[in-house]
Amino acid sequence: MECNSCHGEMLTVGSVRPLLVGGSLDGQNDGKSRRAWTALPRCQSCHTGDALDHLEGPQYLKAPDGLRFKQAFRIDDESASPILASNKRFAENDSTLFRFSKGHGGVLCEGCHGSAHAEWANADPAPTTTWPPRSFRGTRGRSRSVARATKSPASPWASLDLLACTL
């Protein structure tokens, strides 16, 4: 996974191409240029639902597992507008960026899952961006690590199904 898998190419980041419908965080900037620090990919741009209900189609670049996408926007979308999934299982709070979204009784999503850039595929087994989840949960915070932690009886999260949480 590269930066442009989520953010698009440099012309896109530079707001040369207008966002598609559903591309802006709150819908107020659809058809217009990106807003800095606001027109960002969403969790639901790649995690579009669950095993029973998720987006399908040739316009999406799927991961090998067939559930996630490897790109946060449609293949033919030069504006790299973030995908807005209909199944909100892994979505942020409405009109709210991931870094400000909350779940599980008001806990910030980043408190357990780490920052958005801590989630990207990183070959380094101990990057500094994963220090909080490693120190508090004993995992790096990536999906496979979370899955292992939820199945481990030694984990404080053993009773929670983090992969099936809803906000």
pLDDT along the chain (167 residues), means of 10: 83 85 88 86 88 91 88 92 88 88 87 74 54 55 43 41 35
CA distances from 166 to 88, 91, 143 (A): 8, 8, 15
One domain, residues 156 and 104: yes
How far apart CA 150 and CA 144 sit, in angstroms, is 10
Beta-bridge partners for 62: 69
CA distances from 154 to 19, 130, 139, 151, 157 (A): 46, 20, 12, 9, 9
pLDDT attached to residue 8: 87
Final residue in a domain of this structure, among 91, 124, 141:
91
Final residue in a domain of this structure, among 61, 91, 121:
91
Range of the domain at 27: 1-91
One domain, residues 39 and 65: yes
Cβ(70)–Cβ(1) below 8 Å? yes
One domain, residues 63 and 126: no
One domain, residues 10 and 61: yes
Cβ(44)–Cβ(115) below 8 Å? no
Q: What's the pTM value of the predicted model, to 2 decimals?
A: 0.67
pLDDT attached to residue 59: 94
One domain, residues 87 and 104: no
Final residue in a domain of this structure, among 37, 59, 91:
91
One domain, residues 9 and 69: yes
pLDDT attached to residue 2: 79
At 92, list the tokens: 């942020």
pLDDT attached to residue 74: 93
Phi/psi at 42 (5° precision): -110, 160
Q: What single DSSP character describes residue 136?
A: H
One domain, residues 114 and 86: no
One domain, residues 27 and 69: yes
| Cα atoms in the 13 Å half-sphere on the side-chain side of 56 | 6
At 10, list the tokens: 């440099």
One domain, residues 40 and 76: yes
How many domains, in total, are found in the chain? 2
One domain, residues 44 and 121: no
One domain, residues 109 and 39: no
pLDDT attached to residue 60: 94
pLDDT attached to residue 160: 39
DSSP string, 87-123: --TTPPSTT--GGG-EETTTEEHHHHH--GGGSS---
